[in-house]
Each structure stands twice: as C-alpha cells, then as structure tokens.
C-alpha cells in the first residue's frame, strides 16, 4: 500500500466514526489518503477530525471555487489508485448503482478510472431490502467490489447483517484491490497449525506450531486473487475470517481433508506441523503405577508425499523445519517427496514466532529470504510460487 493514493469516501452511516481508525491504519500501511465526505457524513463526524488524522483538508463541496480548475471530481479521480467508500450508506450505494452525481463524492466515483471498493454499513432491514440487493448486483455487474458487511449487534439494538466489516478483512480487501491478481482463477489449498494426537482421554502429543505462517499465506494468497481453502489444526489465534477454513485436529482428519480437496486445487502449500508418530490411543486415563512409562508410537503416513505422487498436476510446496543442516535436509525432502518447492527454516528461529528467515529451494536454486515478519515472508514465498508455477504451466503472463 506504500504511496498508493486512496480516496476514502465517508457517507452518512452511524459507523462514520470508524473512518478515524481506518485512516490511521491506511496511513500506517503507507497509503496517501484523501478524505471526501458527504453532507450527511458531517452530521456524524467532524471533517476537522478526519483532516487531523489524514493530514489533508477534507473535500466535501463540489462548488468550492477556490481550488485549481474548479473540476475537483475529475482531478481527484485521475489521481487515485483506489476509491474506498467506508462506511457506505444504503443511500450512497443506491446512487452508485444508478450513476447519480449530485455531490462531490458521487461525481468522483462516476468519473473514476480506478477500482472502487465499497464497505456497506446499515441496519439489517435496509441491508435485506430488495432495493439494496438490486443496487448491489448492479454495482457488481459494473465491476465494483464489496467488503462485508458483517453479522452482529447493530447500533439500533437489532442483531443481523449490516455491520461494517472488521478492519482486518477490510485491509485485506483493500490490498487485494490494489495488487495485481497474480493468482486470479487459481485455487490454493493451505494447511497450517499443529496436529493433536490423543494418548488417552486426558493427554495428547502436539507441537509448538502456532499456525501464523499458514494464516499469513492464506491472507496474502487471498489478497493476490486466489480462491483459498485453509485446513488448520491447533493454532494460537483464530483463523482468518475472509476465506474458507476447515478445522482438522489430528493427522487422520488432516490427511482425509487434504486428499478430499487436492483434486479441486492448483497449488498445495503444506505448512502444518503434522505428527510423524501417533500414539496408540488408550481409552480412559493412563494410570500412574510405574517409575517409567513407555509409550508406543506408530509412524504416520506422509501426507504431502502421498498427495504429490497421487495428484500429479498439483503444484506442491512443503515446509521443512530443522534444527541443523537446514538447507541440506530440506533438499533431501524436496527430492524424496517429489515436491515442486520447499521452504526451509530453523525450528528455533521460526516455530511459534512472528517472524522468520527462510530459504526457498526449487529446481536446484536456493533463494534466501532474510528474517522478516511472516506476512511479508508469505508474500515473498507466494511471489516465488507464482513465478515457478507460471513457468511450469508455460503461462506467458509470467511476471519476473
């Protein structure tokens, strides 16, 4: 989002105050934000507040004669990379659908030559009204995109659809609107988190994986235009709310779900930490009568190896977490499992952490990615997957 010019259109919704936090976030991500408010929006929040946060005077009046050539709607629309309407009132959505242009914001929208992203916020009856549904279909037909709304408690006390989408999902949708759709029409299957294998009714074997890498990959793949399916095990945080997520608590479920979904996907990224050994489960609780307890573990099947050999068209990416000889061991796995790519990292430096340093290994090449935040890392990994997968399929749109 760095240096991207975003017009933030704020309209007359009770959620107008949320524009303050949104401006702060957009600026934090490096965007250059120009706020345009409707007349009604000013009833909910002061332009001065939004001016203070965006660092620029808020535009509101179409008839303001003092500015440039007096054609602010054309000037602004020429300058921007994205128009974001957040919150978007039912009234403003209706105006967009009809192509009305009776104030500065609606004029800028009509004169735009950049994408438009609309985050509605309204009472659930307004949202469910057939007129609103019709307007939304028209805007989508015309190429407009929507983020949200969400279900939940509303300002008027009702419960239902119509709340402004949460900022995490909105940010991803903004990123998606600003990024080239490298994975457009691609289905990507991702696994993440730790498996949890029961020993008895009270105990289990698991590992230190947090799921952060897989969640970041899922978010970034989504913002690059992919249809993402995420199969997740035990994780430290909740899975992303914007994509299809399926919970798989153990090896058996992970195996079943991966094989079930593999045929519908183009790319498989296995970042889950799956148990190599599974205990023989005891029903009830293991009793304490001896000084020593020997647990019998059996070798589990290698999900990515089996998947790569069964689904030949699937582009398979593995992760290799090692404590020593990180690159050498990853190269052995890449070959043995017949993967297209493997991401090698150090257990101590990456497992459960917010950042990591990795080596991406494919076709005899080793690409070093220095330590960085897992979101940025996910983006680098996906860029490498995109290049290699496009080459493998001889796609001419290959981007270097």
Ligand X SMILES: Cc1cc2nc3c(=O)[nH]c(=O)nc-3n(C[C@H](O)[C@H](O)[C@H](O)COP(=O)(O)O)c2cc1C
Number of DSSP helices (H) and strands (E) in the chain, helices first = 15, 19
The two tokens of residue 375 are 């979101």
Based on its alpha-carbon atoms, the radius of gyration of the chain, rounded to whole angstroms, reads: 25
Q: Strand, helix or coil at 59? A: strand
- Residues forming the site for ligand X (CB under 6 A): 11-15, 38, 40-41, 89-92, 121-122, 126
Smaller CB distance to ligand X: residue 120 or 239? 120
Please count the CA atoms within 13 angstroms of the CA of 4 that sit on its side-chain side.
23
d(CA 340, CA 326): 18
The secondary structure of residue 190, as a DSSP letter, is E
Shortest distance in whole angstroms from residue 75 CB to ligand X: 21
Smaller CB distance to ligand X: residue 43 or 276? 43
Contact between 32 and 3 (Cβ < 8 Å): yes
Smaller CB distance to ligand X: residue 10 or 382? 10
192 forms beta bridges with 232
Q: Distances from the Cα of 335 to the Cαs of 275, 319, 328, 330, 369, in angstroms?
A: 21, 13, 11, 9, 21
What length does the chain have?
400
Shortest distance in whole angstroms from residue 130 CB to ligand X: 16
Nearest alpha-carbon partner for 369 in 397, 388, 350: 350
Contact between 344 and 361 (Cβ < 8 Å): yes
Smaller CB distance to ligand X: residue 12 or 211? 12
* Sequential DSSP letters for 19-32: HHHHHHHHHHTT-E
Smaller CB distance to ligand X: residue 120 or 240? 120
Shortest distance in whole angstroms from residue 7 CB to ligand X: 15
Q: Which residue of this chain has its Cβ atom nearest to ligand X in the complex?
A: 12
| Residues forming the active site | 156
Contact between 223 and 306 (Cβ < 8 Å): no
Shortest distance in whole angstroms from residue 103 CB to ligand X: 7
Smaller CB distance to ligand X: residue 15 or 341? 15
Shortest distance in whole angstroms from residue 14 CB to ligand X: 4
């Amino acid at each position: 989002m760095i240096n991207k010019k975003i017009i933030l259109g704020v309209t007359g919704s009770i959620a107008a105050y949320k524009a303050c936090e949104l401006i702060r976030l957009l600026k934090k991500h490096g965007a250059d934000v120009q706020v345009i408010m409707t007349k009604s929006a000013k009833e909910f929040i002061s332009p001065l507040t939004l001016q203070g946060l965006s660092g620029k005077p808020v535009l509101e009046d179409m008839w303001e004669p003092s500015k440039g050539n007096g054609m602010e709607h054309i000037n602004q629309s020429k300058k921007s990379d994205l128009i974001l309407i957040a919150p978007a009132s039912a009234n403003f959505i209706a105006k967009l659908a009809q192509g009305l242009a009776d104030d500065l914001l609606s004029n800028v929208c009509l004169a735009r030559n950049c994408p438009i992203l609309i985050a509605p916020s309204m009472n659930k009856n307004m949202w469910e009204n057939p007129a609103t549904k019709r307007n939304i279909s028209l805007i989508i037909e015309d190429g407009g995109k929507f983020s949200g709304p969400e279900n939940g408690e509303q300002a008027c006390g009702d419960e239902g659809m119509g709340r402004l989408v949460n900022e995490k999902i909105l940010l991803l949708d903004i990123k998606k609107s600003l990024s080239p759709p490298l994975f457009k029409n691609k289905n990507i299957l991702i696994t993440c988190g730790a498996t949890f294998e029961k020993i008895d009714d009270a105990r289990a074997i698991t590992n230190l994986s947090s799921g952060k890498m897989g969640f970041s990959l899922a978010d970034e793949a989504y913002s690059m235009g992919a249809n993402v399916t995420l199969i997740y095990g035990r994780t430290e945080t909740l899975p992303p709310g914007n994509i299809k997520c399926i919970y798989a608590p153990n090896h058996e479920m992970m195996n079943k779900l991966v094989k079930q979904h593999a045929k519908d996907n183009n790319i498989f990224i296995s970042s889950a930490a799956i148990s190599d050994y599974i205990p023989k489960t005891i029903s009830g609780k293991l009793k304490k009568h001896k000084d020593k307890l020997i647990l019998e573990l059996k070798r589990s099947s290698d999900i990515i190896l089996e998947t790569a050999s069964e689904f030949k068209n699937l582009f398979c990416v593995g992760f290799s977490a090692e404590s020593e000889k990180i690159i050498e061991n990853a190269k052995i796995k890449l070959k043995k499992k017949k993967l297209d790519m493997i991401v090698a990292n150090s257990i101590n430096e990456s497992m459960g952490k917010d950042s990591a340093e990795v080596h991406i290994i494919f076709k005899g090449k080793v690409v070093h990615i220095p330590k960085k935040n897992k979101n940025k890392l996910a983006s680098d990994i996906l860029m490498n997957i995109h290049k290699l997968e496009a080459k493998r399929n001889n796609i001419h749109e290959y981007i270097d």
